[in-house]
């Protein structure tokens, strides 16, 4: 079986595409964009790939859009030639600018087209290709409101195998935190300065809670330069986080990066985070309650749509970045009510599917 996979720009598009590609097997050709992070990821993937020169349109009237439109036409023509040469049995696209030309080319050549949408509010590319698709796999509930419902199937987002395999009790033993409450704060791989600035004034209050352990992932760019650090009561956490992490209180760690997120997330009792679709899917698979602070400049405000679904399902609490003064109240209310966190954790599990990749593969193979 020959398969073309397309998706790029961000890890949220690339990671599901890679998961599907690896599970499908056969001969895979990955088509990505020259400007997305796929140019760094694909060389290590072991897959055959091609990178197209394509980018997204500006959201205001500008002459730049003319050049972008020309690139889109050229990318579509190039995609048609690639598909003619490779002769795939099907095409799977996961979003991002490069998916448009590839999806259009597949449709024009009458090659079965499958879409995978990660967010609760579908991106422009997926919405434009929806009528041309055989099947649309939804990673988040709510997206069916904006797409042809008869083509949609909620599968959950494909997540990393190490997340699926992570177990709460094993992870807590690894961190050696006993029955302490673990609070994880993260703004995504790059961190989030707004979240960091809101949490730092709360360190003192958090340090006074003897039953609490905090891991704050700040990102490299906002990691503080401290001359003194405090001795920690949790050496296993320090070992897992690595030499760059420091303890600013005996129970509070700050780290510029979390290389091994699976056990940290699995062991967490509460997480403060952005609302990226893939991270939400990982939290759902593990059943972790969230306080969500959507990135306000995400394309089409999709992170807010994602967060609203979690709030509707009573699996998360939404705090807008413009209203971060409400964060302390939301945080300490959940820290003080463990039973509420347990209910939220159970609700979170309804929003994900550890077998998402297998469901998608089975649907594709059944069609073929």
β partners of residue 255? 217
Q: State yes or no: pLDDT of 27 exceeds 70.
A: yes
> pLDDT per residue over 298-340, tens digit each?
888 999 999 999 999 999 999 999 999 999 999 999 999 999 9
pLDDT at residue 178 in the model: 96
| CATH 3.40.50.2000 fits domain 2-157+353-367 | yes
Q: How would you class 97 by CB atoms within 10 Å of its CB: exposed for 0-12, middle for 13-18, buried for 19 or more?
A: buried
63 contacts: CB under 8 Å, gap ≥ 6: none
pLDDT at residue 225 in the model: 76
- Answer yes or no: same fold for 2-157+353-367 and 163-351: yes
Residue 108 CB neighbours (<10 A)? 13
Average pLDDT of the residues of the chain:
94
Q: State yes or no: pLDDT of 57 exceeds 70.
A: no
β partners of residue 214? 183, 252
pLDDT at residue 26 in the model: 93
pLDDT at residue 61 in the model: 63
CA dist., res. 37 & res. 19, Å (int): 16
Q: State yes or no: pLDDT of 60 exceeds 70.
A: no
Say if residues 99 and 32 touch (Cβ distance below 8 Å). Answer: no
DSSP helix, strand, coil percent of the chain (3-state; round to 5):
50, 15, 35
Q: What does the block give as tokens for 336?
A: 């003080």
pLDDT at residue 230 in the model: 77
What ranges do the domains of the chain cover?
2-157+353-367, 163-351
Q: For 69, list phi and psi in degrees, rounded to 5.
A: -65, -40
Sheet holding 135-138, edge to edge: 48-52, 27-33, 2-6, 90-93, 113-117, 135-138, 152-154
Which CATH class for the 163-351 domain? alpha beta
> pLDDT per residue over 231-266, tens digit each?
888 999 999 999 899 999 999 999 999 989 999 999
328 contacts: CB under 8 Å, gap ≥ 6: 202
Q: Closest Cα to residue 363, out of 177, 158, 185, 87?
A: 158
Say if residues 102 and 15 touch (Cβ distance below 8 Å). Answer: no
Q: How would you class 124 by CB atoms within 10 Å of its CB: exposed for 0-12, middle for 13-18, buried for 19 or more?
A: middle
pLDDT at residue 67 in the model: 78
CA dist., res. 258 & res. 244, Å (int): 10
pLDDT at residue 226 in the model: 67
Q: What does the block give as tokens for 146?
A: 């904006």
pTM comes to 0.87
Q: State yes or no: pLDDT of 59 exceeds 70.
A: no
Q: State yes or no: pLDDT of 58 exceeds 70.
A: no
> pLDDT per residue over 175-196, tens digit each?
999 999 999 999 987 789 999 9
* Percentage of the chain lying above the pLDDT 90 cut: 83
Q: Closest Cα to residue 351, out of 308, 298, 320?
A: 308
> pLDDT per residue over 65-111, tens digit each?
777 788 889 999 999 999 999 999 999 999 999 999 999 999 999 99
């Amino acid at each position: 079986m020959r398969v073309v996979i397309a998706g790029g720009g961000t890890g949220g598009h690339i990671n599901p595409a890679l998961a599907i590609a690896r599970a499908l097997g056969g001969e895979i050709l990955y088509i990505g964009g020259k400007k997305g992070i796929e140019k760094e990821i694909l060389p290590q993937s072991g897959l055959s790939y091609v990178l197209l020169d394509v980018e997204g349109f500006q959201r205001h009237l500008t002459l730049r859009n003319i050049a972008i439109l020309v690139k889109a036409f050229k990318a579509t023509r190039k995609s048609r030639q690639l598909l003619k040469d490779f002769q795939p049995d099907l095409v799977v696209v996961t979003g991002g600018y490069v998916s448009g030309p590839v999806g259009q080319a597949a449709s024009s050549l009458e090659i079965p087209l499958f879409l995978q949408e990660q967010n609760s509010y579908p991106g422009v590319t997926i919405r434009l290709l929806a009528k041309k698709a055989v099947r649309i796999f939804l990673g988040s509930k709510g997206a069916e409101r904006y797409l042809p419902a008869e083509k949609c199937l909620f599968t959950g987002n494909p997540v990393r195998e190490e997340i699926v395999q992570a177990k709460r009790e094993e992870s807590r033993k690894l961190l050696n935190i006993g029955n302490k409450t673990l609070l994880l704060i993260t703004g995504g791989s790059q961190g989030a300065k707004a979240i960091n600035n809101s949490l730092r004034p709360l360190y003192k209050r958090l340090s006074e809670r003897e039953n609490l352990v905090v891991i704050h992932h700040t990102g490299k760019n906002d990691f503080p330069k401290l001359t003194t650090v405090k001795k920690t009561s949790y050496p296993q956490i320090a070992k897992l986080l690595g030499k760059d992490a420091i303890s600013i209180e005996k129970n509070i760690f700050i780290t510029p990066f979390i290389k091994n997120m699976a056990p940290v997330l699995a062991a967490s009792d509460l997480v403060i985070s952005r609302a990226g679709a893939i991270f939400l899917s990982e939290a759902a698979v593990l059943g972790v309650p969230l306080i969500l602070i959507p990135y306000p400049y995400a394309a089409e405000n999709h992170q807010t749509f994602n967060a609203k679904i979690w709030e509707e399902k009573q699996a998360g609490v939404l705090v807008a970045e413009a209203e971060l003064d409400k964060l302390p109240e939301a945080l300490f209310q959940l820290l003080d009510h463990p039973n509420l966190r347990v209910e939220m954790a159970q609700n979170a599990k309804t929003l994900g599917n550890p077998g998402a990749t297998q469901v998608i593969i089975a649907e594709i193979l059944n069609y073929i």
